[in-house]
Structure 1
Amino acid sequence: MYNRRKFIKVSAATASITAFSRSAFARTINSIEPSGFPIVISTWNFGVDANKEAWKTLEKGGRALDAVEAGVRIPEADMNNHTVGRAGYPDRDGHVTLDACIMDEFGNCGSVAAMEDIAHPISVARLVMEKTPHIMLVGDGATQFAVEQGFKREKLLTPESEKAWKEWLKTAKYAPVLNIEDKQHAPGNQYNHDTIGMLALDAKGNISGACTTSGMAFKLHGRVGDSPIIGAGLFVDNEVGGATSTGVGEEVIRNVGSFLVVELMRQGYHPEDACREAVNRIIKKKPDTAKQIQVGFLAINKKGEHGAYAIQPGFEYAVCNSQTQDLLIKGKSFY
């Protein structure tokens, strides 16, 4: 007979097993030996210079969050980069609108979207995280908040970007071109969008990430892609790893791509395999669309293992650790 005394004994044993399992899990997570702490990785060839800046923080034992913010500010300020930051191409109405998000090892996150007149959206996103009860501010509200926090309001439409926009207006045709950052695949092409996503694992084994972009060139005014969306353009779980994305954001959002990659790593997938599975999900759902676009994912786990996968060839990512400062790796692709 299953009496009360037996029930209490079984319950106590179950509780002990559960407590042991949780403790063992915690020890397993906390005792993972790194293959290369600290390390920082980021999307595309402009990630090389961004990583070098992030490394200045990491090599001193600094926090991953500080590293990723400092790192992505480099392409945000690059006047020759028309896909990220202040020199980005405008929307079809001539407005330069910027998107960014940031996430730390505690699961805190901040984001801005469709923000105008502020050159460093990643730093505004961090302040949204640290100084407000919110996660995302958009449009005029994001700009207002930035100004209140001491950011300088300035015109972001550069003469070069304005010239390109007026040239585009002659036909007003929008057709994304793959891999503008890979000059071999798109030599001289100036109309596209590519994001910088950065993930860092610091000396303490903590992960943070950042993602920032000026979005699709000549997009509809008010369009927001995946880059400022936590779970789409960026996701970090400090027990597992982090992931970020680049390419056509609409497809990343539909699949909650970066969250998916992290959850696959939680199940034991290597970062590259997790990225590949996320890409396969996009292709399976919309095979005809996938043939015409680029989407790529980049990921890192708690061991410092990293990997990437994309729909189309040409996606590359930069790696920086104590052994190398400027390594550029070609991500694998479906096609």
Structure 2
Amino acid sequence: MANRRNFIKTAAIGSVAIALNSFKSKEDASDEIVKNENTESKPIVLSTWRFGIEANAAAWEILKNNGRALDAVEAGVKVPEADPNERSVGYGGRPDRDGKVTLDACIMDEFSNIGSVACLEHIKHPISVARLVMEKTPHVMLVGEGALQFALSEGFKEENLLVEESEKEWKEWLEKSQYKPIVNIENHDTIGMIALDAHGNLSGACTTSGMAFKMHGRVGDSPIIGAGLFVDNEIGAATATGHGEEVIRIAGCHLVVELMRQGKSPQKACEEAVERIVKLTNLRGKKLKEIQVGFIALNKKGQYGSYCVQGGFNYAVHDASGNRLLDANYYLKK
């Protein structure tokens, strides 16, 4: 199974190639975070994992022209949603144990308007459906068949999202039907994106195909406001990736933002949220090495931070100084 963190597209655009050729070491990343905590930066966009580099590039095209953060995060996460080679987001995502690709997404703007879809099939861009739920309905979340009906009524095209490679892996999985997600492997990743625009406003988006070979109907943290994403335009924003059940357990992104409200830096807020997960995992008698959760956070000054349970999580940052990928610091040292 190909690991995205060892894979670089040869067709990447120039700015992406430059960023990928100048990855920061963990020490460099730590130095950058410390420096960032003493400065202010806007506009700025952060997103999870290596595919965040390309997503950030799309978002930056809007942010650099004084565009709205909400438009930027939608445009940004649509990049991996449409890429059949990205096996944990949108088109190309791995299916559930019934062979169905089901997608989850949510979006939140500077006014605390929110929209979400869960267990949505046949629609390539769930993030855009989530935005229309926010803008055109009296509801916050639509799920399953109802979400699909709404999408089709808004002009979205029904498509087969199960690509050949995902179908092949699913059929191989059926031979043993063993459900055991592996940390830092793209059977449970997400793209979460948070942005601060030139006007000082925050927005965020989160989208995923969820855990590979999950039970049909399983929903993780990604479409849940307060779990996989939260934005408070007075304070900051946060998004999460990894094992969604663990993020839901602590209302993770709301917790990160509330810790920032209490005066903690984005970095310290992410660290405390991960420590909360660690504590509960130990209390429940579970093995910490079997889970991965990562948070990224951004405050109103454009200062950011990240932290995860164990090594292997990285995130992309794009501001006026460029687009780069950083390794997150982590709790579990080997």
**What is the Cα deviation at residue 228 of structure 1?**
0.1
C-alpha contact 1:34 1:302 (8 A) present in aligned 2: no
Whether 2:300 is the aligned partner of 1:295: answer: no
Query: Deviation digits for residues 225-246 of structure 1, max 9, x if unmatched?
Result: 0000000000000000000000
Selected match of 2:145 from 137, 140, 151: 140
**Residue of structure 2 equivalent to 1:102:** 107
Matched letter for residue 266 of structure 1:
R
In structure 1, distance between residues paired with 2:154 and 2:287: 42
Unaligned runs of 5+ in 2: 1-37
In structure 2, distance between residues paired with 1:44 and 1:62: 24
Matched letter for residue 249 of structure 1:
G
**Residue of structure 1 equivalent to 2:307:** 309
Selected match of 1:237 from 206, 225, 232: 232
Q: Specify whether residues 71 and 212 from structure 1 end up closer, same or farther in structure 2 by C-alpha distance, changes over 3 A only.
A: same
**Residue of structure 2 equivalent to 1:159:** 164
Query: Deviation digits for residues 270-311 of structure 1, max 9, x if unmatched?
Result: 111101100111110112343311011110000100010000
In structure 2, distance between residues paired with 1:110 and 1:219: 24
| Runs of 4+, deviation exceeding 3 Å | none
SS of structure 2 residue aligned to 1:209: strand
**Residue of structure 2 equivalent to 1:130:** 135
In structure 2, distance between residues paired with 1:177 and 1:263: 30
Matched letter for residue 179 of structure 1:
N
In structure 2, distance between residues paired with 1:290 and 1:120: 33
Matched letter for residue 235 of structure 1:
F
Selected match of 1:220 from 215, 224, 227: 215
Question: Any residues of structure 2 matched to 1:62-81 within 5 Å, and which?
Answer: 62-81=67-86
C-alpha contact 1:194 1:215 (8 A) present in aligned 2: yes
Question: Any residues of structure 2 matched to 1:1-335 within 5 Å, and which?
Answer: 35-180=40-185, 192-287=187-282, 288-325=286-323, 327-335=324-332
Matched letter for residue 63 of structure 1:
R
Matched letter for residue 310 of structure 2:
Q
In structure 1, distance between residues paired with 2:115 and 2:235: 20
Superposition TM-score, scaled by structure 1 size: 0.86
SS of structure 1 residue aligned to 2:88: coil
Matched letter for residue 199 of structure 2:
K
Matched letter for residue 64 of structure 1:
A
Give RMSD over aligned pairs.
1.0
In structure 2, distance between residues paired with 1:169 and 1:64: 42
Q: Which structure: larger Rg?
A: 1
**Residue of structure 2 equivalent to 1:26:** none
Superposition TM-score, scaled by structure 2 size: 0.86
SS of structure 1 residue aligned to 2:322: coil
In structure 2, distance between residues paired with 1:290 and 1:284: 10
Q: Give aligned pairs, total.
A: 292
In structure 2, distance between residues paired with 1:250 and 1:315: 18
In structure 1, distance between residues paired with 2:77 and 2:267: 23
In structure 2, distance between residues paired with 1:232 and 1:289: 22
Query: Deviation digits for residues 37-61 of structure 1, max 9, x if unmatched?
Result: 1000000000000000000000000
C-alpha contact 1:243 1:259 (8 A) present in aligned 2: yes
**What is the Cα deviation at residue 180 of structure 1?**
2.2
SS of structure 2 residue aligned to 1:265: helix
**What is the Cα deviation at residue 178 of structure 1?**
1.2
Unaligned runs of 5+ in 1: 1-32, 182-191
C-alpha contact 1:282 1:290 (8 A) present in aligned 2: no
Percent identity, aligned pairs only, is 66
